[in-house]
Amino acid sequence: MKNILVVDDAATVRMYHRKMLGDAGWHVEEAVNGLEALERVMNQPPDQPFDLYVVDINMPKMDGYTFVRELRRLPHAAQAPVLMVSTEAQSQDALAAEEAGANGYLIKPARPQGLVLTAALMLGDVQVARRSADAQSLQGVRA
Amino acid sequence: MSLNSTELLDQFILESRECLERVGQRLLDVEKAPQDADLLNDLFRQVHTLKGNCGLFEFKALELVVHAGEDVLDRIRNGRLSYNASIADALLEAMDYTASLIDVIEADGALPEGTQDRARLLAAALRDHLGEPVAAPAAGRTEALTPVAPLPAPDWSNALPAEWRQPGRVLVRYVPEATCFFKGEDPWHLARTAPGLLHLDVRPNTPWPEGDQFDCYACNLDLRLVSEAPLAEVEAHFRYVPEQVDHWHVPEQPAPAQPTTPATAPVATHAPAPHTDLLNARLQQVWDDQCRLLARTGISAGTVAAVRQTLTNLLVCRDDHALASQAHTALQGLAPGPVPLAQWAQQYHPDGHGQAHPPGSPPPAMAQPPRRSATHPTPEDGGTERGQKVLKVSQDKIDRLMELIGEMVVAKNALPYLATRAESLFGQRELAREIKTQYSVINRIAEDMQHAIMQVRMLPVGIIFQRFGRLVRDLSKKLGKDVSLVIEGEDTEADKNVIESLADPLIHILRNSLDHGLETPEVRLAAGKPAQGTLRVAARQEGDRVMLTISDDGTGIDTDRVRLKAVERGLIPADRASSLTDPEAVQLVFLPGFSTSDAISDLSGRGVGMDVVRNAVERINGQVELESVRGQGTTVRLTLPLSMAVTNVMMIEAGERRFGVPMDLIVETVRVPAEDVHHFKRAQTTVLRGRIVPLRALSDLLGLESAPRLNEDGELAVLVVRLGSENVGLLVDNFHGTSDIILKPLEGVLTGITGFAGTALMGDGSVLMILNPKELV
């Protein structure tokens, strides 16, 4: 099963993401800031690495940007994609996320299907990606 | 959508409250240290979190206000806006409103229609500050907070008769807080004296409760009034209670259709499309993102590896498997480093319109593992700053645990009785001993458990202190006084119930200090004191008690006036008043019905005096002491138990019955030879440790028909209890052991009986009456 680490200081957002991603059939773990997330990554058994990180930007102790930079210095965990999810709607935040090395950027609140579809693509989970795209076309996508 | 699940909503409410509490605290902190970047960042983050959470739900009103607050704080944080008192006021007001919305959401799960109007006003008030340049305030820009378009009528106003709602009039809805009487507010008076009052409609805010549940100290009114005075005048009239008032200015013309609120639309837009198109479109977007990432200079090896992984995963999601696997092979064969990958990714279009160029020399399998970075990945504080794992549990669950352990403590007390019965009734001495052994084991576990659960309920007193910052700020402003609040020992812990029952008495004491104690800057300067008064609230633990000290350096209590008032009100005879020393005269303020304020003041009139404070504190087995030095200030000292869940009582016997007396009140137990009891007229006294102690027979006090018994040595059993500052000896028949009990207050028809604090269920199933010596003597 795919392993996802959700990093966000807002418990409500963590719960929301856990629900969205968990319902898609993935295993979700949580960390409340970048520092704790790094610790989690380092203590993760090598045979169960995280396959995707869903990361907030503004967090106490260590923000999302720093987390990604630090993560990418870790030899064994660096390969998993990072999806930044933040309320910062300004384009410079998306650029800063890119500069830090994030593979994608979504604006919070991420619509459930948007989040799941992007996550599925980044994880290479074709079944979930199809299902999610189906659900969206049925719903008619909100602009 | 299934997203508005109750679980998520509960979490949202819980977290929002935490954020708001922290925001309120931080706003006051920032006022003291406006340059503290950490404070500002934390403040911003709290509001930011709040806004992010709001976005998950359709609470537009909430989002409007919080978003405006976030923007203001963001500017301040970046130094583009300077923090000042008016911004602080706007933010505090906005956060108060937010808190009230959270309450509504918790109660109803949704926000009623009308809330957006007030939200829009508050948001506008906040955004008003954004327009101001940082350094120089715009010349002569004192624009009032008038909305551009007339606001639609709020729901509540529709319930009023149509003829009341004439153009130009101001409709006001005033729902006083339940606790408003304790804040010295007089809603009825306030409503009646509103300027230009034409109509007044009063109804209960919630249906009146049954007679026995009626709380005469809780305000339950919903006042609606119509005024022909200008809006500004009405606003000024209700300026002390703006958060409890909602008003609507009936427009001269009918209100236009409500404008649609600006929605915070997600930036990414997709055209509705069949699923394959949608999937491919999104895939292409993510693919392009990776290309952009690769094109950046200075991209780290780790990021390159992540991009490679992401591209690989994206290929898996391709529709066309043949093409996908072909591309996959190509990707795998790329040379390491960002450049070849970037070139390939640029040329390859995952939607099938382009072709990948296979590289010339395929290196083995996957890319090399990224180069080990020289820097250690862990920040220095990473090891030590390991966050404590915190579990949030609702209060009900803890209360339930507390109840259960209470029952367990009582139930375990049945074992010694059982052991005695086993021995005496069935002659099973061996079994009795085993039961006793088991009892001691269970007893120890129960005590540990009780202690552990009590620890869970311990909260730092800082929780209630937090509210004081705001209270002192608002009141001192209102009264034109300059007061600095100093808080000490906010980490001192006490049981949740103790802390909760402390809040109101403490607020009352603070109000007294602010209203009567501390002087205005002019008066203080004239008296040779610094213009700024100091109000100090300190907490510390002493043994199993918590000591709270509230002191001010104000004018102190005018003992002459106190004596005069006490005599005037017929509370004590004049000759006694004049014989009292000053420290004794100060204590008169504790007498029920005492109030020195001539005019009922806006703040602490209402006849809710220090006697209420004393009662509230004594109800949780605490004590109040008051000291005041004329011209130098007043100090109130509260001594409280750490916990009030379990009461330790001593069992005593009188008139062949057993009673319990709380150990907190007991000074000592002594045996006094009958000849040492002195009789003066009908009173009995004895001398203990050089002090005369009045004696009262418990059986007399309880109306039992038996005189106190002497033991074989001709001694009387005297239980010395502390009543306020005096000691009184109760004559009883005998002393028994002590026991931990859960005190249940008298309920139902027994409620009015004085002399008893309550009852407790004993281990043998009997009920022990717990005495309240204060009411008895």
Q: Which amino acid is at B106?
A: E
Phi, psi of B642 (to 5 degrees): -65, -35
Please write the tens of the pLDDT for every residue from B435-471.
Answer: 888 888 998 898 888 888 878 888 888 888 877 888 8
From B95, B130, B165, give the residue that closes a domain.
B130
Q: Which domain holds residue A78?
A: 3-139
Asked if the structure places residue B207 within a domain, the reply is: yes
Give the pLDDT confidence score for residue B350 in this predicted structure.
Answer: 57
In a shared domain, residues B613 and B677: no
| Gap between the Cα atoms of B358 and B89, Å rounded | 65
In a shared domain, residues B492 and B628: yes
Contacts of B679 (CB under 8 A, 6+ apart): none
In a shared domain, residues B58 and B200: no
Number of domains in chain A: 1
Asked if the structure places residue B602 within a domain, the reply is: yes
Asked if the structure places residue B672 within a domain, the reply is: yes
Tokens (6 digits) for B248: 């609507």
In a shared domain, residues B316 and B415: no
Give the pLDDT confidence score for residue B660 in this predicted structure.
Answer: 93
Q: Which domain holds residue B582?
A: 461-641
When CB atoms are compared, the residue of B1, B273, B309 closest to A79 is B309
Residue of B53, B62, B290 to mutate, testing the A interface (most A Cβ within 10 Å of its Cβ): B53
In a shared domain, residues B126 and B165: no
Q: Which amino acid is at B203?
A: R
Asked if the structure places residue B606 within a domain, the reply is: yes
This model of the complex carries an ipTM of: 0.86
Partner-chain contact A129 B278, CB within 8 Å: no
Asked if the structure places residue B659 within a domain, the reply is: yes
Q: How far is CA B704 from CA B653, B656, B711, in A?
A: 12, 9, 19
| Gap between the Cα atoms of B190 and A5, Å rounded | 56
Asked if the structure places residue B169 within a domain, the reply is: yes
Angle between helices B275-295 and A112-123 (to 10 degrees): 60
Which residues is A29 bridged to in the sheet?
A5
Q: What is the mean pLDDT of residues B168-177?
A: 85
Q: What is the mean pLDDT of residues B517-534?
A: 88
Please write the tens of the pLDDT for every residue from B616-650.
Answer: 888 777 888 888 888 888 899 998 887 766 678 89
**A52-55/A82-86 β-pairing:** parallel
Residue of A12, A72, A108 to mutate, testing the B interface (most B Cβ within 10 Å of its Cβ): A12
In a shared domain, residues B125 and B164: no
Asked if the structure places residue B364 within a domain, the reply is: no
**How confident is residue B659, by pLDDT bands cut at 50, 70 and 90?**
very high
Report the CATH number that the domain containing residue B585 is assigned in CATH: 3.30.565.10
Q: Residue B210 pLDDT > 80, yes or no?
A: no
Partner-chain contact B377 A70, CB within 8 Å: yes
Q: Measured between beta carbons, which residues in chain B are less than 8 angstroms from residue A128?
A: none
In a shared domain, residues B629 and B673: no
Report the CATH number that the domain containing residue B657 is assigned in CATH: 2.40.50.180
| Gap between the Cα atoms of B464 and B501, Å rounded | 10
Residues above pLDDT 90, as percent of chain B:
4
Residue of B56, B57, B391 to mutate, testing the A interface (most A Cβ within 10 Å of its Cβ): B56
Number of domains in chain B: 6
Q: How far is CA B757 from CA B753, B773, B775, in A?
A: 9, 9, 9
Query: Judging by beta carbons within 10 Å of its beta carbon (0-12, 13-18, 19+), is residue B120 exposed, middle or buried?
Result: buried
When CB atoms are compared, the residue of A11, A109, A126 closest to B55 is A109
Q: What is the mean pLDDT of residues B713-724?
A: 87
In a shared domain, residues B415 and B551: no
Mean of the per-residue pLDDT values for chain B?
77
10-residue mean pLDDT profile of chain A (143 residues): values are 88 86 87 87 81 88 86 75 77 76 79 80 83 66 37
The listed range with the strongest mean pLDDT (A72-76, B256-260, B343-347, B422-426) is B422-426
Asked if the structure places residue B383 within a domain, the reply is: no
Strand, coil or helix: B600: coil
| Helix spans in A81-143 (H) | 91-100, 112-123, 126-139
**How confident is residue B152, by pLDDT bands cut at 50, 70 and 90?**
low
Indicate the Cα dihedral angle B100, B102, B107, B108, nearest 10°. Answer: 110
Phi, psi of B553 (to 5 degrees): -105, 45
Q: Of B651 and A48, which is predicted with more confidence? A: B651
Report the CATH number that the domain containing residue A63 is assigned in CATH: 3.40.50.2300
When CB atoms are compared, the residue of A70, A125, A137 closest to B273 is A137
Partner-chain contact B385 A103, CB within 8 Å: no
Phi, psi of B656 (to 5 degrees): 65, 10
Give the pLDDT confidence score for residue A7 in this predicted structure.
Answer: 92
In a shared domain, residues B310 and B399: no
In a shared domain, residues B433 and B467: no
Indicate the Cα dihedral angle B20, B70, A56, A88, nearest 10°. Answer: 160
Report the CATH number that the domain containing residue B164 is assigned in CATH: 3.30.70
**How confident is residue B133, by pLDDT bands cut at 50, 70 and 90?**
very low
Please write the tens of the pLDDT for every residue from B287-310.
Answer: 888 888 887 777 888 888 888 888
Residue B180 gets which letter from DSSP?
G
